Amino acid sequence: MKKKYEPLFEPFTFPSGVTIDNRIAVAPMTHYSSNEDGTISDQELDYIIPRSKEMGIVITACANVTADGKAFPGQPAINQDSQISGLKKLAQAIQAQGSKAIVQIHHGGIECPPELVPNQEVVGASDIFDNGKQIVRALEDHEVENIAKAFGEATRRAIEAGFDGVEIHGANGYLIQQFYSPKTNQRTDRWGGSAEKRLAFPLAIVDEVKKAIASHAKEPFALGYRLSPEEPETPGLTMAETFTLVDALAEKELDYLHISLMDVNSKARRGADETRTRMDLLNERVGNKVPLIAVGSIHTADEALQVIQSGIPLAAMGREILVDPQWPAKVKEGREEEIETIIKLGDKPKYHLPEPLWQMIINTPGWVPFED
């Protein structure tokens, strides 16, 4: 390994005491390949094993915590105890490669396709109508509480399955973000209104997850939270509202905040200094209180190193690890110039990609680069 890349392979210990071997994280990626009932499939294991070698942590595809939270066909589930045995296989498959296993826990809210949820009833923070027809039903007070508790129960299952931690999926426009965003939350009860009141649901989930960890974890267990810093629409989340969110989360003694971006170097849009990157602004705001994970268009060893040298302790990669699972091994062995950044369609078997994910890649131009 070239000396300059050594910082990528220094160990890191989270506040909870969970220690990882290096600073590389595998970002959670939807793979559309779990069994129909949400249990873990063999092709899912075949996919994750090569992507767990030489990594610090592997964050799994988001798993729904309730039946009405399923947002993708082939999504893993963590809403019933019958799923624990399969989840255990997933955790062990990752850990056998030397990485720590984190399961991302999730509810899709208004992003759930009707055909994937019970009675085709999509639920969210507020009612949504389209041409006079109700397409989303606002959750009632007790239902909001029950979903927060479901995140706690999902955490218990993750502990029983042997994972090293959970990541709360509060990003990418799913239910937790829907409750915090003024775009999707028009409630006037205790779950909506001001930015502080819209924080009630995300913080209730954090509290339920922490309670489950305190009750069930016998060893250090990591708790992360993924968030999207801004929304493009007005009304929509601004950097100013994101600062309010991260200030509150930083007081919750989390292990990390995972900042969901398409480009790690993207600059603030509104509500903050527009000449600075969102990552720099957030690191300045709360980086001294809670570790951050950066993600978004990190492909090369130099790009990952740039993240670490900017003061962000961890760099996550998603699409790049789909393309080249050997990324860390190549950097470690001084072969970083051999890192692949484009899937070659003729070499399909070497990627160990489940067929539904393979089809999604080739039918979604611009998502994961490929060539004939």
Task: Give tens-digit pLDDT for 234-264.
Answer: 999 999 999 999 999 999 999 999 999 999 9
Domain boundaries, the chain: 3-337
Cβ-based burial of 342 (10 A; exposed 0-12, middle 13-18, buried ≥19)? exposed
Q: Evaluate if residue 372 carries a pLDDT over 90.
A: no
- Helix H or strand E segment including 344: strand 343-344
CATH assignment of 3-337? 3.20.20.70
Degrees (nearest 5) of the Cα angle 38, 315, 335? Answer: 105
Instruction: Fill in the DSSP letter of residue 82.
Output: G
Q: Using one digit for the tens of pLDDT, what is the confidence trace for 19-38? A: 999 999 999 999 999 999 99
Beta bridge partners of 314: 293
pTM over 0.75: yes
Q: Which of 27, 3, 17, 14 is nearest to 264 (CA)?
A: 27
Structure tokens at 68: 């009405």
Question: How far apart are alpha carbons 247 and 14 in whole angstroms?
Answer: 19
Q: Using one digit for the tens of pLDDT, what is the confidence trace for 149-190? A: 999 999 999 999 999 999 999 999 999 999 999 999 999 999
Q: Using one digit for the tens of pLDDT, what is the confidence trace for 173-184? A: 999 999 999 999
Query: Catalytic positions, please?
Result: 174
Which region holds residue 362: left if phi is over 0, alpha if psi is between -120 and 50, else beta? alpha
Decide: 34 and 74 in contact? Cβ < 8 Å: yes
Question: How far apart are alpha carbons 195 and 179 in whole angstroms?
Answer: 10
